[in-house]
Structure 1
Amino acid sequence: MSGDQTAPPSCTVNPFEFLHITPNHDGTITRLYELPTTPAAPDHNGSSPVITKDFIINPNHNTWLRIFLPRQALDNNSSSNTTKLPLIVYYHGGGFILLSAASTINHEFCSNMAIQLAAVVVSVEYRLAPEHRLPAAYDDAVEALHWIKSTHEKMLLDFVDYSKCFLMGFSAGGNIAYEVGLRASTAVDDFHPLKIKGLILHHPYFGGSTRTGSELKLVNDQIFPLSANDLSWELSLPVGVNRNHAYCNPTVGGGSNHCDKIKELGWWVLVAGCDGDPLIDRQVELVEMLKKKGVQVEAQFNEGDNHGVELMDATKADSLFVFLKNFIEKILG
């Protein structure tokens, strides 16, 4: 891509092999390996701690969402306690080019989050690049919010407090949550009765045309090496733009003017990362930019760990959920 630095010679990882993909002549890719998937479980036998169900958003785009309802809410609803739960709209990671809301790693993370946070989680299946380059994923993510706010599905109507909504994503999903937040901040009435309270960016995926210290330090990172980072952007950004496009670099030009709207609305932005992640410098830059704009920001950058550690380590996930629960309770009072 014009204007972008190529991976330095010290980068020894073949990105196509690392990502298990091969390029095709028509601009698509063949995904050679997909992580295991888990189907939704409507819970006909009454034993599952989380009830999950899939719903189509847009059949023309093959987009859908999966609702995660903690059984405790169902039990409470059948008694005198009918307290409704916060809503977390979740966007999965995968560099915009891989994985699904049905991927077992994402399904289990959302299931555990619904239990630990006592929240209803809605995980969104969006179109992947390069078959559908950005902003397709952003458009799908916004369309999911419109589906949620207008559906008559009882799993949401009976159990969700629509005034307590958070947008959350991991990695590329964190990027999506941020972009959707920018868009939604300028059209809050369009999403009524949904009231967004904050954005939760978990190891969000951002970049830029110049190299950061953390990218160079972790050039051959075992989880997300620089060559794979570069290739993911090359496959997902609009054709002809470089990594200083706002989709990739949210701090370019001092940041979006929509941040002023986020400040005005009083939304909080949480950024969670770790210093074993090549992306951490970009995440810190985002936090600093948002603070300069007066946005309410909370940041947690752990020592050690790696990109997406909480999706692979249950103990780390539990610690993250405690942190998120405290963050949400602080905002909701």
Structure 2
Amino acid sequence: MSSTICFRCVLLGVSCGANIADYVAQRSVEADKLLDPIKVVAQILMYHFFIGSVPTKSEINLANSYFYDKAMCLLAWKLFLPEEEVNLNHPTANPLIPGRGPPLKCMPPTLTVVAEHDWMRDRAIAYSEELRKVNVDVVLFYYKDVVHEFATLDVLLKIPQAQACAEDIAIWVKKYISLRGHEFSY
């Protein structure tokens, strides 16, 4: 009798890392059995760096305020994307464009963290809503009175929202893993 080892992982990405985590989740869905014995079982996306060519309400109202402004983010996308592909509707920038990769219904369960004063929050919320519409298990944590990266910047780690966020994520991961019978190690 042989036993099969399976490595289950939860992807976590912060800011532009959330885009990377989502992209890796998409690729893992497409690769399916090619990744054996690795299986992406969930993703945690914290204040995504999603953008698009049609601005959302938060992108308009908060574009020039708080931690990252829109001009800085546009520059980041210009530096990140290949010169011939600079387009705010590129699949890594905007997860809501048609034909971006595998169908949303194939994506893993997702925990989304958004900050009230983050100008990119509306697109992250919209992405969570689209995942929910196709029956992906989605939890959205919305933190008031905070900015982009509130729970990961050293200078903000002691604020109550950052501490609550860390606790909320830990509780979600533990519940998610135990409810599905997965083993989890650190």
Question: Shorter-normalised TM-score: what interval?
Answer: 0.7 to 0.9
Report matched runs for 1:135-214 at 5 Å.
Answer: 163-214=7-58
Could you tell me which amino acid in structure 2 is paired with residue 273 of structure 1? V
Among candidates 288, 292, 298, match of residue 133 of structure 2: 292
Contact 1:206 1:248 in 2 (8 A): yes
Instruction: Establish whether residue 306 from structure 1 lines up as the match of residue 147 from structure 2.
Output: yes
Match of residue 231 from structure 1:
75
TM-score normalised over the length of structure 2: 0.83
Q: Distance in 1 between matches of 2:146 and 2:104?
A: 30
More helix by share: 2
Report matched runs for 1:19-30 at 5 Å.
Answer: none
Unmatched segments (≥5 aa) in structure 1: 1-160
Match of residue 318 from structure 1:
163
Contact 1:186 1:258 in 2 (8 A): no
Unmatched segments (≥5 aa) in structure 2: 179-186
> Which has the greater radius of gyration?
1
Aligned CA-pair RMSD: 1.9
Contact 1:164 1:196 in 2 (8 A): yes
Among candidates 46, 67, 88, match of residue 243 of structure 1: 88
Could you tell me which amino acid in structure 1 is paired with residue 50 of structure 2? F
Give, in angstroms, the shift of residue 301 of structure 1.
Answer: 1.2
Match of residue 281 from structure 1:
122
Q: Equivalent pairs: percent with the same residue? A: 27
Contact 2:18 2:45 in 1 (8 A): yes
Give, in angstroms, the shift of residue 219 of structure 1.
Answer: 2.0
Q: Distance in 2 between matches of 1:247 and 1:238?
A: 12
Contact 1:185 1:258 in 2 (8 A): no
Give, in angstroms, the shift of residue 182 of structure 1.
Answer: 0.4
Which secondary structure state, in structure 1, belongs to the residue aligned with residue 110 of structure 2?
Answer: strand
Contact 1:186 1:261 in 2 (8 A): no
Could you tell me which amino acid in structure 2 is paired with residue 294 of structure 1? N
More strand by share: 1
Match of residue 184 from structure 2:
none
